[in-house]
Amino acid sequence: LDRAYLQYEPVWAEGVTLLFGKMGNPFFKPGKSQLIWDDDVNPEGVALQYESSLNECTDLFVNAAGLWVEENSSDADVSLWGVQGGLVHDLDGSKLTWGGSYFKYGNIQGEPTIFDPKDGFGNSVTTVGTDTFYMYDYELVEGFAEYGTKLGDTPLTVYGDYVVNTASGVSDDTGWAIGAKYNKAKSPGTWQLGYEYRDIEKDATVGVFTDSDFVGGGTDGRGHKFSVAYAIARNATLGATYFMTERDADGDGNRNDDYDRLQLDLKVKF
């Protein structure tokens, strides 16, 4: 099962939602960017979401979570603590969302790499025998913004996302993305275009959780992402995504390996 969780919305705390279990990502992602979080990440733990209206044009949202990342039988578990806050402004038919986040991984430095003991997914690692271990901690500060409007009757969204790893000793610590989406493939016969440029250094975030398709998965890459989608039926969409990227293949710090990928997708909802 991808998800198995309990959602509780107490009547005595308006605007509060509590989540327990293996859930969908509780944090806002501008433009659904996968700079920090791949779309397939379904974390496990406890999360709190809060929304409140500050005035007729502005809403406040806060997301916080304590999550298990990796259980270790002989050592402390790897954990993740995160808090995020932002504002949503209604601008006479347009919408501006902006805010920031702080994510801190606990007990990760010196621990075996998550998911695959032989692959750091772009992160800086040390090798002992056949196993790899994280060289640094990960304490991420994120800033983001998303603006949605219309060109005539056609929806347009532009967004930006920026993250820096503030942990001690990290040099390749920054990642950022900017992008846009035009129109929306929703009802039969409608279409959507998308573009994103991304640059993510080796230790800007934990590589195993970032986009698994960009530069073959993980960090230490940069490049373009082009996408198109067409709704062929009410709940079915045909799409194509092309990644034109570069990554550091030989570990010398120079992104000198072209990595291009074309994906074709048929998505059906039911």
pLDDT at 224: 97
Which of 213, 102, 220, 209 is CA-nearest to residue 163? 102
**Cα–Cα distance for residue pair 176/140, rounded to 1 Å:** 12
Three-state SS sequence of 195-263: EEEEEECCCCCCHHHCCCCHHHCCCCEEEEEEEEEEEEECCEEEEEEEEEEEECCCCCCCCCEEEEEEE
Q: Are 107 and 78 contacting, i.e. CB atoms less than 8 angstroms apart? A: yes
Q: Is the pTM of this model over 0.85?
A: yes
Distance of CA 48 to the CA centre of its chain: 18
- Three-class secondary structure assignment of 112-135: ECCCCCCCCCCCCEEEECCEEEEC
Q: How far apart are CA 55 and CA 148, in angstroms?
A: 20
- State both tokens at 12: 């005595």
CA distance 21 to 1: 12
The tokens describing 174, both together, are: 């920054």
Identity of residue 201: E
64 three-class SS: strand
What is residue 72's predicted lDDT score, i.e. its pLDDT? 75
pLDDT value at position 251? 53
Query: Is there a contact between 120 and 212 (Cβ–Cβ < 8 Å)?
Result: no
| Residue 223, pLDDT score | 95
Over its length of 270 residues, how does the chain's per-residue pLDDT go in tens digits? 789 999 999 999 999 999 999 999 999 999 999 999 999 999 999 999 999 999 999 999 999 999 999 887 667 789 999 999 999 999 988 999 999 999 999 999 999 999 888 889 999 999 888 889 999 999 999 999 999 999 989 999 999 999 999 999 999 999 999 999 999 998 999 999 999 999 999 999 999 999 999 998 999 999 999 999 999 998 999 999 999 999 875 555 555 688 999 999 999 988
The whole-number pLDDT of residue 131 equals: 84
